[in-house]
Amino acid sequence: MIKGSCHCGAVKYEVGGKLLKFAYCHCPDCQKFTGSAFNPALIAELEGFVVTQGEDNLVAHESSPGKLRHFCKTCGCHLFGTSKNREGMVIVLAGTLDTDPGMRPQCHIWVSKNPAWNEIGDSLPQYAEWPPQ
């Protein structure tokens, strides 16, 4: 079982579904929400994902039509996202994981939006937007 939590520990979750992809996302939304050039994102099946503590401490922000980003209302930590365009999936911010997911990043996505000051220094595949299905 993969476990994670917010910075203050008020919200905890578990990822029990199948892991689908582990990507570094360079989209502008991820840049703004993380304050970084990219977001290491673990994409998993929504089935098996459960908030085990502090569900009443979560707030959601619709960052783009149909996409909800879920935050701890105490510490402001961005934990995970869900999208109507990607039903059945949850996007977990890997920085909030408390246990090793047993998977390593596989690619970079949305590199068309990578800031000029960020040099991608690994040999992982890069996709202008989403990788091909």
Ranges of each domain in the chain: 2-20+40-102
What is the maximal distance between C-alpha atoms in the chain?
41
Q: 71-100: per-residue pLDDT in tens?
A: 999 999 999 999 888 789 999 999 999 999
- What is the phi/psi pair of residue 112, to 5°? -65, -20
Judged on CB neighbours under 10 Å (0-12, 13-18, 19+), 122 is exposed
- Does pLDDT of 61 surpass 80? yes
Name the band, by pLDDT with cuts 50, 70 and 90, for residue 66. Answer: confident
State the pTM of this model.
0.89
- Cα separation of 34 and 45, whole Å? 22
Structure confidence at residue 44 as a pLDDT band (50, 70, 90): very high
pLDDT tens-digit profile of 99-112?
999 999 999 999 99
Supply the CATH classification number for the domain 2-20+40-102: 2.170.150.70
